[in-house]
Amino acid sequence: MQRMTRQRAAVSDLLAGTDDFRSAQQLHEMLKDRGEGIGLATVYRTVQVMADNGDLDVLRNADGESLYRQCASRGHHHHLVCRRCGATVELDAASVEKWAATVGAQHGFTAVEHTAELFGLCAECTARQQSEDS
Amino acid sequence: MQRMTRQRAAVSDLLAGTDDFRSAQQLHEMLKDRGEGIGLATVYRTVQVMADNGDLDVLRNADGESLYRQCASRGHHHHLVCRRCGATVELDAASVEKWAATVGAQHGFTAVEHTAELFGLCAECTARQQSEDS
DNA sequence: CGTCTCATGCAAACGATTCTCACTCTGCCG
DNA sequence: CGGCAGAGTGAGAATCGTTTGCATGAGACG
């Protein structure tokens, strides 16, 4: 059975109010800042449960860290993520789905899954970057 | 400067003779089995240098481990990888490239990179799986 | 309220990868 | 060929994100 605890509510709340992909450690940090008493392990556990339920999307950044986000569309979709601030755009990509299915079948593979994520700098971070470079 | 040592030759050799994606630890294991004396750290270093040189392709599996492979085509391309045995098919996907470029631009993102890999069970492993299930 | 469990928190455990450092060998020069 | 400088190596310690074990705490339902 699934219980609703103060900690779960807090994580859920935080994610509901964020549009960007965040790591478990970032979430933990943010919760502490909010004054929520919560252990890191609990954040990991909570986030994992939510991901299993399909309430959260998970992806791995270039460093291999797991990032979490509550996405608007609950089905399969892809993302365009700012590698700097985590800002995210959800993407539908019928062309990619088709490509994956076709190619998999062509080579006799079964149970084919695919990952397809775009990482870049959002408009804001691009501007910030340029002023830093100067 | 780049020196050619016994260890580097061994790694290079091993990879040249393998068609599948392998983790650094697997490579290390295989080299030990071959009777090559080589440290795990050295395998990691070598593989990293080769990847930097573009001699090796790197990707991360579902567990976040890095897998390495010497690909035929040295440019940008994608893979269809057997999640069980590592068997790999190299893929060109103009449609995916186009998609990534278009979508990135549409949302004002710059420096957009993308990952797109397919994981499945190759024909062989599919058969093996079925006989195990019985 | 009481009890039955699931959830939490801390600290220890983990696994992949990286770093440290003393020692070894390659590549190059005379 | 012999010697030297510095890149490369190996073994183990250190990192870092993540997971787990275990004693304690607290939802939910009677």
Cβ(A67)–Cβ(A21) below 8 Å: yes
B88-91/B78-82 β-pairing? antiparallel
Residues of A in contact with B123 (CB under 8 A): 107-110
Q: Which residue is nearest to nucleotide C5 (CA to C1')?
A: A1
With CA atoms as reference, the chain A residue closest to B109 would be A122
pLDDT in tens, B23-79: 999 999 999 999 999 999 999 999 999 999 999 999 999 899 999 999 999 899 999
- Give this prediction's pTM: 0.92
Would you state the pLDDT for residue B1? 79
pLDDT digits (tens, 9 = 90+) for A74-129: 899 999 999 999 999 999 999 999 999 999 999 999 999 999 999 999 999 999 98
pLDDT of residue B68: 98
To the nearest 10°, the Cα dihedral for A120, A124, A127, A130? -50
The pLDDT of residue A132 is 80
Does A134 lie at the interface with B, CB-CB under 8 angstroms? no
The answer to whether B113 contacts A121, with C-beta atoms less than 8 Å apart, is: no
**Please, which residues bridge with residue A22 across strands?**
A68
A116 → closest Cβ in B60, B112, B116: B116
Tell me what pLDDT residue B129 has. Answer: 84
Rounded to whole angstroms, the distance from the CA of residue A42 to the C1' of nucleotide C11 is 14
| CA atoms of A8 and A10, how far apart (whole Å) | 5
Mutation choice for B interface testing from A77, A109, A129 by most B CBs within 10 A: A109
